């Protein structure tokens, strides 16, 4: 299906599966620069025979962070069999790219080359500029006789363009050992996406068997131990990039990504993580630096500020997208019930990022203000769930099992930042702010109330669409009952205790499709038949929208 928003330069990329990207070897990853700087000496010399080996592209190619005049391209070359991700091995290898307006790559608009080295895990980034806005482009990498498939990407509309509509895929929480990434395959098959948003947990840090599907390993990750070092994080990113469904989606549309905690370790904060033992697992500062380096090497992300993923993209006059980093600057999570969640000295964003977000939302002249937000901002009280339901929900959300309904890893644990942000939206009459969220392994559609205790008699400042996990365990997986069983029981109770919640599904895996026009922003929720099947089917579940000017969510019965 071709998007009704496409320019006349559009053309579909054929549905070749990029698991044919390269035949022989598996490897991984590092990313360097844009117009491109890849630095550093070889970590080790290879035997003479390796230099004669034909390079291969085993980890696909990707694009990301679309601008009106540019796009960031990414790939990783495997120069020799020994040059696996994180190995530090392999010779310097020249990698070339070509960008054209047609899939046959005859109308070339940009080409260049750079040297991929072991210092960057043989990853390459090329920040291509001088392109036309709202235009489909096609690109390919090559090294020697090896070539990647041709991939499609798309630039953003011009800043002052009157855009009719935008369509984004929306995903989060893809755990390799818990299943197959069929959500990516189904999004790739659509052929109508301007881009896709990954809202965090693109990878998971656990060792094999530590976090599978209902305790079982569907497919083994690499390395098999918990990742701690730069080599570990590179290896894990490389493993993920061999997934054929992930490669297929990267071939079809640019990604816009932020990180959450599992790109580092569970429940990350600025000075540590729940899943990190200082000393026994090394220094947190070293682990965090390694995780960030590997992320920027392996992901087509263009940081506006070094070491963080918060940045802003614009899509004509229709929408801008503020992307948050809610891990690098936050205070440590507190235990529920100790009163410090309201402490004004505690922060989830950090002062500079919160000021940046507030200023950007106020200055925005677009119809819609989208916020890529890794953890749920809507308040959530568990309410009167029975003990056998509350205990697994508490386990999933990291809550104490004494009946207190609050998840302090979300904005609920940093209420002063939330209060300040929502008050800012109300005080400045900032309309049409839509938070796009992952993390919680459930699907939600929420109003974002200024005062949840008096809602709906008080105002809603924004709306929020939360997508479920691609594969990571949700509530029914923890309890080990059939999908839908717990949603039928828990959803009415959760909604009764949280009157701003219009929809919650605690059980299913899948993805979202966000469609935006001047009149409304709509999220279509899709679910998978079986995350443990490589051939899982997808079906539409529900749709919710917020109409311009309302700051409220309503159900609609027509997916786009």
Q: Are residues 231 and 93 in the same domain?
A: no
Q: Are residues 136 and 258 in the same domain?
A: no
Please name the residues in contact with 282: beta carbons below 8 A apart, sequence gap of 6 or more: 228, 229
Q: Are residues 355 and 380 in the same domain?
A: yes
**Which pLDDT score is estimated for 400?**
41
Q: Are residues 94 and 208 in the same domain?
A: no
Q: Are residues 145 and 200 in the same domain?
A: no
Structure tokens given for 379: 């308040």
Least Cα distance to 181 among 169, 172, 192 occurs for: 172
Q: Are residues 128 and 214 in the same domain?
A: no
Q: Are residues 175 and 145 in the same domain?
A: no
Q: Are residues 177 and 129 in the same domain?
A: no
Of 94, 121, 155, which residue sits at a domain end?
155
What is the distance between the alpha carbons of residues 163 and 316, in angstroms, rounded to a whole number?
6
What is the distance between the alpha carbons of residues 380 and 407, in angstroms, rounded to a whole number?
8
Of 125, 155, 185, which residue sits at a domain end?
155
- Tokens 């682990």 belong to which residue? 287
Q: Are residues 100 and 227 in the same domain?
A: no
* Residue 387 CB burial class (10 angstroms; 0-12, 13-18, ≥19): exposed
Q: Strands across the sheet with 538-547, in order?
A: 123-128, 71-76, 61-64, 255-257, 195-198, 166-171, 510-516, 520-528, 538-547, 553-556
560 residues of the chain, pLDDT tens digit each: 333 333 333 333 333 344 334 333 333 223 333 333 333 333 333 344 444 578 999 999 999 999 999 999 999 999 999 999 999 999 999 999 999 999 999 999 999 999 999 999 999 999 999 999 999 999 999 999 999 999 999 999 999 999 999 999 999 999 999 999 999 999 999 999 999 999 999 999 999 999 988 889 999 999 999 999 999 999 999 999 999 999 999 999 999 999 999 999 999 999 999 999 999 999 999 999 999 999 999 999 999 899 999 999 999 999 999 999 999 999 999 987 666 888 999 999 999 999 999 999 999 999 999 999 999 999 998 765 555 665 676 666 655 443 344 689 999 999 999 999 999 999 999 999 999 999 999 999 999 999 998 999 999 999 999 999 999 999 888 888 888 888 998 899 899 989 999 999 999 999 999 999 999 999 999 999 999 999 999 999 999 999 999 999 999 999 99
**Which pLDDT score is estimated for 355?**
99
Q: Are residues 122 and 227 in the same domain?
A: no
CATH number of the domain to which 358 belongs: 3.60.21.70
Range of the domain at 69: 1-155
Alpha helices by DSSP H, listed for 342-411, are 351-363, 387-397
**Which pLDDT score is estimated for 415?**
93
Q: Are residues 145 and 173 in the same domain?
A: no
Q: Are residues 151 and 174 in the same domain?
A: no
- Secondary structure (H, E, C), 443-485: EEEEEEECCHHHCCCCCEEEEEEECCCCCCCCHHHHHCCCCCH
Least Cα distance to 309 among 199, 210, 421, 150 occurs for: 199
Tally of domains within the chain? 2
CATH number of the domain to which 119 belongs: 2.60.40.380
pTM score: 0.88
Of 155, 187, 205, which residue sits at a domain end?
155
- Secondary structure (H, E, C), 106-123: CCEEEEEEEEECHHHCCE
**Which pLDDT score is estimated for 482?**
87
What is the distance between the alpha carbons of residues 87 and 44, in angstroms, rounded to a whole number?
9
């Amino acid at each position: 299906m071709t998007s009704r928003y496409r320019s006349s330069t559009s053309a579909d990329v054929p549905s070749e599966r990029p698991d044919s990207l390269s035949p022989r070897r598996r490897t991984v990853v590092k990313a360097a620069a844009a117009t491109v700087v890849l630095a550093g000496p070889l970590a080790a010399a290879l035997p003479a025979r390796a230099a004669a080996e034909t390079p291969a592209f085993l980890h696909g190619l990707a694009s990301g962070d679309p601008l009106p005049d540019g796009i960031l391209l990414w790939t990783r070359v495997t120069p020799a069999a020994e040059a696996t991700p994180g190995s530090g091995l392999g010779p310097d290898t020249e990698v070339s790219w070509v960008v054209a307006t047609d899939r046959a790559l005859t109308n070339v608009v940009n080409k260049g080359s750079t040297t991929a080295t072991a210092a960057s895990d043989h990853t390459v980034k090329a920040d291509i500029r001088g392109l036309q806005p709202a235009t489909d482009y096609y690109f390919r990498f090559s090294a020697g006789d090896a070539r990647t498939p041709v991939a499609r990407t798309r630039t953003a509309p011009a800043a002052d363009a009157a855009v009719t509509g935008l369509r984004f895929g929306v995903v989060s929480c893809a755990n390799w050992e818990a299943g197959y990434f069929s959500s990516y395959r189904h999004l790739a098959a659509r052929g109508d996406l301007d881009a896709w948003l990954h809202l965090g947990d693109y990878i998971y840090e656990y060792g094999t068997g530590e976090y599978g599907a209902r305790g079982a390993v569907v497919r083994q990750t690499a390395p098999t131990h918990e990742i701690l070092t730069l080599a570990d994080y590179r290896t894990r990113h490389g493993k993920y990039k061999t997934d054929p469904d992930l490669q297929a989606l990267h071939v079809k549309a640019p990604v816009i990504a932020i990180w959450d905690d599992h790109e580092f370790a569970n429940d990350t904060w600025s000075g540590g993580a729940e899943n990190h033992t200082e000393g026994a697992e090394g220094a947190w500062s070293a682990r965090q630096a390694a995780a960030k380096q590997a992320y920027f090497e392996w992901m087509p992300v263009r940081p506006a500020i070094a070491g963080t993923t918060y940045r802003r993209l614009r899509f004509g006059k229709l929408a801008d997208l503020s992307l948050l980093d809610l891990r690098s600057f936050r205070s440590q999570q507190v235990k529920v019930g100790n009163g410090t969640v309201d402490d004004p000295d505690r922060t989830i964003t950090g002062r500079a990022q919160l000021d940046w977000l507030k200023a950007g939302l106020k200055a925005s002249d677009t119809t819609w203000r989208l916020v890529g937000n890794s953890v749920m901002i809507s308040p959530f009280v568990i309410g009167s769930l029975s003990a056998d339901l509350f205990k697994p929900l508490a386990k999933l959300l990291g809550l104490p099992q004494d009946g207190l309904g609050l998840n302090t890893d979300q904005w609920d644990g940093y209420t002063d930042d939330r209060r300040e942000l929502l008050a800012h939206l109300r005080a400045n009459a900032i309309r049409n702010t839509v938070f796009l969220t992952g993390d919680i392994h459930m699907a939600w559609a929420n109003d974002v109330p200024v005062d949840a205790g008096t809602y709906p008699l008080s105002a809603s400042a924004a709306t929020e669409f939360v997508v479920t996990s691609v594969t990571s365990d949700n509530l029914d997986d923890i309890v080990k009952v059939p999908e839908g069983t717990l949603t039928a029981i828990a959803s009415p109770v959760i909604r009764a205790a949280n009157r701003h919640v219009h929809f919650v599904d605690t059980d299913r895996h899948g993805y979202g499709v966000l469609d935006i026009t001047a009149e409304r922003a709509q999220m279509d929720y899709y679910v998978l038949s079986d995350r443990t099947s490589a051939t899982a089917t997808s079906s539409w579940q529900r749709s919710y929208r917020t109409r311009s000017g309302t700051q409220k969510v309503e159900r609609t019965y027509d997916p786009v």
